[in-house]
Structure 1
Amino acid sequence: MDAGPWLPVPPAGYGGLENVVATLTTELRARGHTVVLAASGDSTLPVDGLVSAFPEGRFAGLGRPYSEVVGEAHAHALAVAGAVTEAAQPFDVVHTHLEVVGPAVLGALGPAAPPVLATLHWDLRRNAAFYECFDGRGRVFFAGVSDSQVARGPERLRAQTLAAVPLSVPVDGPPPLPRGDRDDAVLVLARVCELKGADTAVRVAAAAGVPVVLAGPVGPFRDRAALDAALATPGHPGAGHPDVVWFLREVAPLLDGDRARWVGSVSGEDKARLLRRARALLSPVRWDEPGATAVCEALAAGTPVVATARGCLPTLVDDGRTGLLADDEAGLVAALRRVGEIDPAVCAAEGRRRFAPAVMAAAYERLYAEVVRRAGQGRTGEPVRADSATATARRWVSNASA
């Protein structure tokens, strides 16, 4: 299970991909699978082995120029390649979440490596030049995290994509708090950046007359203290990170420390408390969200979601039942004023049914078997297609979410 070198598994705060890997790995091991994790050396998830190229996650360096960062992804991929080709007992399959570099390096190994499944977590237009030409040669296959994400990918990639499997989150939390026991504030649980719409969130919350809490990193900085220390250090490389520059220009002037607050990255009990007590999760994204882990977490906690109707969000949020969708800022303001109509108990029931780890793990078990079968045949075969990501999981795992 290859999580890449960027953050430990599980992450201490922000880390949607790493949280998904932690949830999936834990469930697979509970179902009797042996799972070796490839991640940074500070990962603490119980596993059957750990492969690392770096003692600590490399996330803080992602804002540096490409020429200074590209070698880190490849160093990690080479460690994975060495582990799978030199293992005393061959692996059945490699599941990589390292975008582009993972499938490229593992695919280049050919029959020397086990069959590969690569989960796509990004907007697929981001690296279209790679996906338009990559050929897995019947040994490397892909899974998306939503049908809308896969549909935006190049034709060659879609032909090698077996299915879209919805993300999963832990669903064993306490019963949801009723509306009357919740805080007034809405929560934004995401990187504080332009694509996630942090500035929009502050504006629409103010217009709706509700407080807002921004919980997530700004560039490589977990919290205000870390950001301020970097800004006070002449020449600090993080000060020029695009997300930092944008935050200082567009978001910081809107924050007052009371009605609009940035609390930095949160994890564990702090994150669970914020999610459980929030009036709503606010997701005013400016991009076609591929998977939206935070939305799944909020619904599982019984927290309604108010979001822009883009990407996978219309398939995750049942408009008018588990949340409200809008197309612009005025619509988001109106939605925040109506969010009290949404029943937290319905959100929790639907979220825990749809996004349970057992649902995702069972779907991936089916995919692993399909990857092994097709690699053994030496041909790609016809893609397994579904009319929706939810339908994929339901068809393969008819009673896992009952």
Structure 2
Amino acid sequence: MPLTVLSVAYPFAPVGPDSVGGAEQVLSHLDRALVQAGHRSLVVAREDSAVAGELYPVPAAPGPIDEDTRAGIHGHQRRAIETALRDNAVDLVHLHGIDFDRYLPPPGVPALVTVHLPPDWYPEAALRPARPRTYLHGVSQSQHGRFPPGVPVLPPIPNGVPVEALAARHAKRGFALCLGRICPEKGFHHALDAAKLAGSPLLLAGEVFPYPVHEDYFRSEIEPRLDRSRRFIGPVGFRRKRRLLTAARCLVVPSLAPETSSLVAMEALACGTPVVAFPAGALPEVVEHGRTGFLVADERGMADAIRAASGLSSDDCRAAARERFDLKGMIARYFDLYRQVAA
């Protein structure tokens, strides 16, 4: 039978096909899949989001995202959720934000929380919600093992990417590529230094969100490392991202955080491009060392891997993405879980 699912996004980033964050991309894929399958999709998200279902908008943060701003936006988020639940017979609420505990709906409708980030980034009380019929799960085996002992958590649902939509043919170029949110834990300054050691051009694409720490990081660690060969090109939409990923010599993922997944690494492989990464968190679950990329320990190893990446097979990368990271499998698992939780 058709379901009505209320998806609740992190309120400080827009949802849509061109989303930067992994949680927003996963929500966007599920929103479109629900509509295509004949279900109802309701989405609480920032007002500039682009959704396939029905949007319950939350205002964008006015200026820097500090504690006062957060409190105001969380109030808007709670009111949007209340309105959606009042106006619709919702079968399930699916929450995606790291701050989900600030706007859990009242008891009643079952709630599923996808923990997209490392569990120790959440208050432990948030991982043990007192609200009845509230279920948590992660997105990788590596992350699953990091939940505190005794926290009830469902089996993980690994992320997936639209492998078919990422298929494109562009001539390989000599540049390395970085993609993502520009913030300290992503470690992009290491990629810039490694590319310089390798004598390789590098393009850094992504968005600097208005958090003071992110803006300070860009000014102090990224801008001084930019030059004619290593450039920051800002945020890119899906089509430009696909073109860049397909043309790049390699994708560099220098994350310093215990990554719970890596959608951009999966996207690179779907485009036929190997991945050079630090072995942080779940990245060893994504990158097959010596076949679809290289896992390295430091900047020197990263520089060597950037030079060696052109010797890996694009066909092997695409085959791995088709076999392991196709979006269809992720959606099917979520739909099965939706039916179980809603029942």
Same fold (TM over 0.5): yes
Which of 87, 97, 114 matches 1:119? 114
Which of 269, 281, 299 matches 2:251? 281
Q: Distance in 2 between matches of 1:4 and 1:219?
A: 13
Which of 113, 128, 131 matches 2:126? 131
Which of 249, 259, 271 matches 2:220? 249
Give the gaps of 5 or more residues in structure 2.
1-6
Q: Provide closer, same or farther for how the CA distance between residues 132 and 270 of structure 1 changes in structure 2, counting only shifts above 3 A.
A: closer
The residue number in structure 1 matching 2:263 is 293
1:18 aligns with 2:17: no
Which of 155, 167, 172 matches 2:149? 155
Alignment of 1:89-128 (within 5 A): 90-101=89-100, 103=101, 105-106=103-104, 109-111=106-108, 114-128=109-123
Q: Provide closer, same or farther for how the CA distance between residues 216 and 26 of structure 1 changes in structure 2, counting only shifts above 3 A.
A: same
Cα offset, 1:219, TM superposition: 3.2
- 1:277-335 CA distance string (max 9 Å, x none): 11111001111011222112111111111101011101011111111111222221222
1:189 aligns with 2:179: yes
Pairwise CA RMSD of aligned residues? 2.1
- 1:263-285 CA distance string (max 9 Å, x none): 01111322121111111110011
Q: Residue 282 of structure 2 aligns to which amino acid in structure 1? A: C
Provide the TM-score with structure 2 as the length reference. Answer: 0.91
Q: Residue 152 of structure 1 aligns to which amino acid in structure 2? A: R
SS at match of 1:125: helix
- 1:144-175 CA distance string (max 9 Å, x none): 11121222222243x1x212111122222364
The residue number in structure 2 matching 1:2 is 8
Contact 1:219 1:242 (8 Å CA) reproduced: no
Contact 2:16 2:28 (8 Å CA) reproduced: yes
Cα offset, 1:30, TM superposition: 2.1
Which of 147, 164, 167 matches 2:159? 167
Q: Provide closer, same or farther for how the CA distance between residues 68 and 156 of structure 1 changes in structure 2, counting only shifts above 3 A.
A: farther
Q: Distance in 2 between matches of 1:83 and 1:174?
A: 34
Q: Residue 53 of structure 1 aligns to which amino acid in structure 2? A: V
Contact 2:288 2:294 (8 Å CA) reproduced: yes
The residue number in structure 1 matching 2:137 is 143
SS at match of 1:44: coil
The residue number in structure 2 matching 1:394 is none
Larger Rg: 1
The residue number in structure 1 matching 2:3 is none
Q: Provide closer, same or farther for how the CA distance between residues 148 and 313 of structure 1 changes in structure 2, counting only shifts above 3 A.
A: same
**Identity percentage of aligned residues:** 33
Higher mean C-alpha displacement, 66-75 vs 185-194: 66-75
Q: Distance in 2 between matches of 1:28 and 1:13?
A: 18
Q: Distance in 1 between matches of 2:199 and 2:168?
A: 24
Contact 2:140 2:261 (8 Å CA) reproduced: yes
Provide the TM-score with structure 1 as the length reference. Answer: 0.78
Contact 2:292 2:317 (8 Å CA) reproduced: yes
Contact 1:176 1:344 (8 Å CA) reproduced: no
Q: Distance in 1 between matches of 2:55 and 2:45?
A: 7
Alignment of 1:26-37 (within 5 A): 26-37=32-43
| The structure with more strand, counted as a fraction of residues | 2
Q: Residue 44 of structure 2 aligns to which amino acid in structure 1? A: A
SS at match of 1:38: strand
Q: Distance in 2 between matches of 1:104 and 1:4?
A: 11
Q: Distance in 2 between matches of 1:217 and 1:149?
A: 25
Which structure would you say has the larger RCO, counting Cα contacts within 8 Å and 6 or more residues apart?
1
Q: Residue 201 of structure 1 aligns to which amino acid in structure 2? A: A
After superposing on structure 2, the runs of 4+ consecutive aligned residues of structure 1 that deviate more than 6 Å are none
1:42 aligns with 2:40: no
Give the length in aligned residue pairs: 337
Which of 328, 334, 339 matches 1:364? 334
Cα offset, 1:69, TM superposition: 1.6
Q: Residue 288 of structure 1 aligns to which amino acid in structure 2? A: P
